[in-house]
Structure 1
Amino acid sequence: AKMAKSSSGFSLSDLKSPTEMNDFETSVATDQIEALDINAYYNTPQDMALGETSTLNQRLMQVETQPDHTSSLYPVSQMLLVKHSLRCKTCDHNLSKPEYNPSSIKFKIQLSAYYHIPELRIKSIPTLKIGQEFRLEMTLQNPTPYALHVTIFDLSESSDESAAIKVPQLVMGLAPKDDTADLDIDKNFQSQFNDDNNFISFRKGNKLGFYINVCPLKTGECRFRIGMKHDFVNTVIQSTREGPNDRQSQISWITHKIWINLGDVCD
């Protein structure tokens, strides 16, 4: 603080309150308001550079000046964003741990569910009609570098659900994710996994498509529930029998409950 005072030649004792300032004028309300020039907003010339004109949000962030040009904008302070670690509340294992280098965006440990749970999506939805059965095509994608085995089963109840479904009674194998593989090359995945063409629509790399037979039972939203069970390879759990630095892979099965809403049903 002393260095700042000596370098600037200014001290806190030099500050004065508004009542001590002789030339201080208080603000007075007035009815005389400058008219708004609408032409500046609607009748702009065609050669106007939009990149040099400030937006409404930029002007509201600096209410004191409200500059019209971006060259007159001042830097706005932002909250500091830092990388942080995340631990499991049950087992206290690290779920997310970034690198120590602040300029690196990589993680030493990244166990988010997005990187380990198969991605299930609806590919297309036809027109829904009561009592008319159709085949709903869905896709599965493997985000892990390990081969996965996925099973889809029915969880719907006749009293609550608005559609009757029939899911394939088979175990669908998903190839591991390979960023270096060329997906345009046909590797004949169907013969490798021995797919049933009645339920498997396509297979490409670590992604496949399959069918679910759906029959809407009543008007309103077509909703039903399915279950998805897949294996999970955990390489972070340490072995207690071996040394503390040795790790082993542990395979476990995870089950998910999925609610699907296909939209309104036509009469």
Structure 2
Amino acid sequence: MAYLTQPDYVKYVCSCGQLKPITNLYFCRHCLQIRCAFCICHEVDSHYCANCLENMPSSEARLKKNRCSSCFDCPSCFHTLSTRATLAQPRQSTEQGSGDTKVENKQPKKMYYLSCFNCRWTSRDVGIPDQPVASGGWPERANPYATRVNQLLDYYKAIAQQEKQEKLDRERKKFAIRGKYITLTDKTGLTGAMARNIAGLPSSESSSSAIASFTPSQASEEVEELPEEFYTKELNLNQITSMPQRLASPEWQPTHVSRLHPIAKLLSVKRSQRCRVCDHNLTKPEYNPGSIKFKIELLAFYHVPEVKIISYEPIKPGCTSALLLKLTNPTGHEMQIRLMQPEDIPEPEERVDEPKSIEKSLEKSLNLEKDTSWYETVKRKPILLTECRITIPDVTLTLAQRDDAAEYDDDATHDANDIILWRKSNKLALRLQVVTSGEAQAGAAAGAVLALQYRYRNAVPPAAQPPRDHTLHAALRLHLGPVCG
């Protein structure tokens, strides 16, 4: 007998067909479907520094190249640098014509430098002067290739805009019908320049000037020869940077340790997840970077009944083994659950697209429609073929609502039933039988499939409608270890 509580032993089937643990799944209350990380759209809500918790908008983070201006990483070991304070002694001045030394009556000034507590690297090792302020005053190195990089960015943006405009013009000529309006732009006389301004795209004139003023790079066949000291000078590995240290600063790529400079710390993001089908939020965090709470947190762990494996007997070919499962109701309402075979789940209704409105026509004319090609690529069924089959009892199980106070109650009730082993608050244990085929090979992974039919009450219904109970289904796969010989 083995006691298994790891979530990877029980994997649920997502609406797209992938197998994931329940802790990695989401539940959309509008589609009433289980979603995985591939079925949702990830959006960045805010940027913040994980070290100083400074919050900044996306526009400011873009200007700062997604790096914090007051926090730095060690260029040697990549740990976070700490600011150390020291007292700078006043300078001594010597009078001309006499050997007397005169000390000005000044108080020692506090100065700051960066230090790493892990590898003992300091900013003084590379000649960076101490700063009078603790944060925000560290000098920034200018990228020697910044001008060329900006020219390349402007050039490729202009090329992309020109190709998009040519594609839009070809589509308009293809569907141009005299006397009929295909899009809202044709009816209202909205020109291409106005459409680009509304979409926030650059004008065609600026794109043409960027392409015309661009100077392409010229390849040179002549390569500078290496100096003689490269072959004769003794190599000291303690003074040469490693490959990760060079790649951490791609603008300069220092070759010697004496040229290492502090690396500005990368910003972290708080992201929200949105359902790709109905465009409703599944998770949305708080704007405050110090808060770990969520405004919206539609995880499957809080809406779909959880199944865990308590124990099972060794799986042998042609034998029947006992299987103990634990079902948990995570919702605040009473739930009825019925066990089924996966092939008994009814086929879901096909999704009907809404009729296109004027706003959607405008989005299409501006080439701003959303990409839904992913919906066709993930239409697949999971591989649930297995040589182990669970004997499904014909009973309907009732689970009480979740009660946080009942978690501290150790008393469990035992039902006079061959299937239900015990009950406790919103949990119950089941005793099932697993029949293994005689063709199962010893040493192969044993897996069984199961389906749940449960009643779910939507606590956030549309406006002017009472809460409704829905009958939902969830398929899952149980990993029962290897087949014994």
Q: Which TM class, normalised by the smaller chain length?
A: 0.5 to 0.7
Distance in 1 separating the partners of 2:446 and 2:140:
73
Distance in 2 separating the partners of 1:200 and 1:138:
10
Say whether residues 1:170 and 2:395 are aligned partners: yes
Say whether residues 1:250 and 2:468 are aligned partners: yes
Distance in 2 separating the partners of 1:26 and 1:251:
82
Q: What is the SS of the residue equivalent to 1:84?
A: strand
Relative to structure 1, the CA distance from residue 110 to residue 196 in structure 2 (aligned partners, 3 Å threshold; closer, same or farther) is farther
Q: How far 1:260 sits from its partner (Å)?
A: 2.6
Select the structure that is richer in helix.
2
Say whether residues 1:205 and 2:425 are aligned partners: yes
Relative to structure 1, the CA distance from residue 80 to residue 131 in structure 2 (aligned partners, 3 Å threshold; closer, same or farther) is same
After superposition, residues 154-193 of structure 1 pair within 5 angstroms as 154-155=341-342, 161-186=386-411, 188=413
Q: What is the SS of the residue equivalent to 2:406?
A: coil
Corresponding residue of 2:53: none
Distance in 2 separating the partners of 1:80 and 1:196:
58
Distance in 2 separating the partners of 1:115 and 1:26:
69
Relative to structure 1, the CA distance from residue 251 to residue 83 in structure 2 (aligned partners, 3 Å threshold; closer, same or farther) is farther
Distance in 2 separating the partners of 1:101 and 1:260:
40
Q: How far 1:145 sits from its partner (Å)?
A: 2.1
Q: 8 Å contact 2:390–2:449 — kept in the other structure?
A: no
Corresponding residue of 1:126: 313
Corresponding residue of 2:480: 262
Q: 8 Å contact 1:227–1:256 — kept in the other structure?
A: yes
After superposition, residues 90-239 of structure 1 pair within 5 angstroms as 90-155=277-342, 161-186=386-411, 188=413, 195=415, 197-217=417-437, 218-220=439-441, 221-239=445-463
Relative to structure 1, the CA distance from residue 75 to residue 166 in structure 2 (aligned partners, 3 Å threshold; closer, same or farther) is farther
Unmatched segments (≥5 aa) in structure 1: 1-6, 16-24, 36-56, 66-73
* Pairs aligned (count): 207
Q: 8 Å contact 1:235–1:249 — kept in the other structure?
A: yes
Counterpart amino acid of 1:169?
D
Per-residue CA deviation, residues 185-220 of structure 1 (Å, 9 max, x unaligned), is 4374x5xxxx55201112222221102211211323
Counterpart amino acid of 2:342?
L
TM-score using structure 1 length: 0.62
Counterpart amino acid of 1:262?
L
Distance in 2 separating the partners of 1:105 and 1:26:
59
The runs of at least 4 consecutive aligned structure 1 residues that moved more than 4 Å come to: 10-13, 29-35, 61-65, 74-78
Distance in 1 separating the partners of 2:263 and 2:307:
41
Counterpart amino acid of 1:227?
A
Per-residue CA deviation, residues 123-180 of structure 1 (Å, 9 max, x unaligned), is 11222222221211111122222222211112379xx541343122212222222223
- The CA RMSD measured in Å over matched residues stands at 4.0
Relative to structure 1, the CA distance from residue 26 to residue 186 in structure 2 (aligned partners, 3 Å threshold; closer, same or farther) is farther
Per-residue CA deviation, residues 197-250 of structure 1 (Å, 9 max, x unaligned), is 2011122222211022112113233333221111222222322xx3xxxx7423
Which structure would you say has the larger Rg? 2
Relative to structure 1, the CA distance from residue 223 to residue 186 in structure 2 (aligned partners, 3 Å threshold; closer, same or farther) is closer
Distance in 2 separating the partners of 1:102 and 1:196:
52
Counterpart amino acid of 2:400?
A
Relative to structure 1, the CA distance from residue 148 to residue 26 in structure 2 (aligned partners, 3 Å threshold; closer, same or farther) is farther
TM-score using structure 2 length: 0.37
Identical counterparts, % of pairs: 31
Corresponding residue of 1:40: none
Distance in 2 separating the partners of 1:26 and 1:142:
76
Corresponding residue of 1:80: 267
Q: 8 Å contact 1:95–1:109 — kept in the other structure?
A: yes
Q: 8 Å contact 1:156–1:225 — kept in the other structure?
A: no
1:28 to 215, 218, 230: 230
Distance in 2 separating the partners of 1:213 and 1:183:
31
Q: 8 Å contact 1:175–1:205 — kept in the other structure?
A: yes
Distance in 2 separating the partners of 1:263 and 1:187:
29
Q: 8 Å contact 1:200–1:211 — kept in the other structure?
A: yes
Q: How far 1:11 sits from its partner (Å)?
A: 11
Counterpart amino acid of 1:199?
I
Q: 8 Å contact 2:317–2:440 — kept in the other structure?
A: yes
